[in-house]
Amino acid sequence: MRVDVFVTAKLTDTSRSKVRAWVRAKEIRSDLRSLKPSSSLQAGERLELDLPELEGGQTQMPAIPPLLHQDQDIVAFDKPSGLLAHPVGGTFAWGLINLAREAFPGEDLHLLHRLDRETSGVSLVARSELANVGVKQAFKEREVLKTYHAIVRGRVPWDHQDVDAPIGSDDSEIRIKQGVVSGGQPARTEVRVVARFPRLTLVSCRPHTGRTHQIRVHLHHLGFPILGDRLYGQEPDVFLGLLNGLPVSRLRVRLGHPRHCLHARALHLRHPRSGEVLSIRAPMPADMARVLARAQAGR
């Protein structure tokens, strides 16, 4: 990827033209060579940013997400959309795990699973080695029941679909994009309609496997992509435009919402110490609730 494209994707509030100016002024440097804005990044290359104007806002601690459950082994947070599970790169100072360690100082905490940055909802953190090993094993063996709510484009005519369709790379110019492809990894998702509106539908999804972007891919495969999804149900220029620094507001009409409307509604699992079934639920986030309210009002 070009240097100016990569840095713009990381500094989401910064224009590509400004990043180019920083590269030319040597305020963005490589530890390997002299850079131009069009230079292609190399494996293992380290970029150094000498940009005082970025200090403060990038490192300010966000609010600790609401607690949904806590005991001596497990704590569950209601992760908001926009928060990473784990910090990535120098520009993202905070992730859910950092905030969990602020809430429970001095404890040896571990993420038990991860949600995409844009996906909201139930996120589990281990407070003990018993939970760290036991719950991760339960996820691996598909013993944790996961339920997601999604708002999809269109009025879904059926009540229930059991999608059993293999997922793999769809050979797109966007390398991370997946699709239903012959020879892909087995993937199964149950989809049920919760509420219908003239142009949108609220559905409940239960993934029985854990493939990359599984729910998003399967809903798109059914012909009902998630509202606000930048990858599925859109032409490639939407995602690539955002990657290249085009503001979300410029693409709002095409996206329908600033983020994909996918929410981890509930997790059901057997407690690693007591053996009792834990049922942890996260309320509908405010942005998705507003979408549904407008849809119900016919707007």
On whether both 42 and 90 belong to a single domain, the answer is: no
CATH code of residue 29: 3.10.290
Domain boundary among 32, 54, 76: 54
Contact criterion met (CB below 8 Å) for 47 and 28: yes
Residue 69, Cα to own-chain centre: how many angstroms?
22
CA distance 206 to 145: 7
173 and 230 assigned to the same domain = yes
**Which two three-digit tokens encode residue 10?**
């990381």
pLDDT over 70 for what percent of the chain? 90
Pair (33, 112) in one structural domain: no
Strand (E) or helix (H) holding 214: helix 214-222
Q: Is residue 224 part of a domain?
A: yes
User: Is 82 contained in some domain?
Assistant: yes
Instruction: Tell me how many domains the chain contains.
Output: 2
- pLDDT of residue 21 exceeding 60, the answer is yes
Would you say 112 and 144 are in contact if contact means Cβ atoms under 8 Å apart?
no
pLDDT mean across residues, the chain: 89
- For residue 224, pLDDT beyond 90: yes
- Non-local CB neighbours of 240 within 8 Å, separated by 6+ positions: 173, 174
Residues 11 and 147 in one domain: no
Rounded CA-CA distance 72/75 in Å is 8
Neighbours of 298 (CB within 10 A): 8
With cut-offs at 50, 70 and 90, classify the pLDDT of residue 168: very high
Helix (H, G, I), strand (E, B) or coil at 64: coil
Q: Identify whether residues 139 and 9 lie together within a single domain.
A: no
Q: Count the neighbouring beta carbons within 10 Å of the beta carbon of residue 293.
A: 10
Half-sphere exposure of 93 (CA within 13 A, CB side): 9
Q: Which domain holds residue 77?
A: 67-296
Instruction: Clarify whether residues 71 and 47 are in a common domain.
Output: no
Q: What are phi and psi of 292, to 5 degrees?
A: -65, -40
Query: Tokens 């991760």 map to which residue?
Result: 136
Q: Which residues are catalytic?
A: 116
Question: Above 60 in pLDDT, residue 92?
Answer: no
Q: Identify the CA nearest to 13 among candidates 49, 57, 48, 79.
A: 57
Judge if 43 and 95 occupy the same domain. no
Please give the pLDDT value at position 94.
Answer: 82
Phi, psi angles (nearest 5°) of residue 226: -70, 135
Q: Are residues 200 and 71 in the same domain?
A: yes
pTM: 0.78
- Asked if 41 and 85 sit in the same domain, the reply is no
For residues 244 and 286, membership in a common domain is answered with yes
Q: Is residue 226 part of a domain?
A: yes
Residue 62 belongs to some domain of the structure: no
pLDDT at 191 over 60: yes
Residue 91 has pLDDT above 60, yes or no: no
With beta carbons less than 8 A apart as the criterion, state whether 280 and 295 touch: no
Across 3-19, average pLDDT = 83
Residues 221, 91: Cα–Cα separation, whole Å = 35
Kindly tell me the sign of the dihedral angle through the C-alpha atoms of 274, 277, 279, 280.
positive
In a domain, 61, yes or no: no
Q: Supply the pLDDT for residue 52.
A: 55
Structural domain includes residue 170: yes
- The Cα 266–Cα 280 span in angstroms is 6
* pLDDT band of 17, cuts 50, 70, 90: confident
pLDDT of residue 76: 98
The mean per-residue pLDDT over the stretch 142-149 comes to: 97
Task: Work out the average pLDDT over 191-220.
Answer: 97
* Tens of pLDDT, residues 41-71: 998 888 888 765 554 444 578 899 999 999 9
Question: How far, in Å, CA of 180 to CA of 182, rounded?
Answer: 7
User: What band does 87 get if pLDDT is binned at 50, 70 and 90?
Assistant: confident
CB 155 within 8 A of CB 196: yes
Q: Which residues contact 124 (CB under 8 A, 6 or more apart)?
A: 74, 75, 76, 111, 112, 113, 135, 267, 280
118 and 261 part of one domain: yes
**The domain that contains 84 carries what CATH number?**
3.30.2350.10
Residues 111 and 253 both lie in one domain: yes
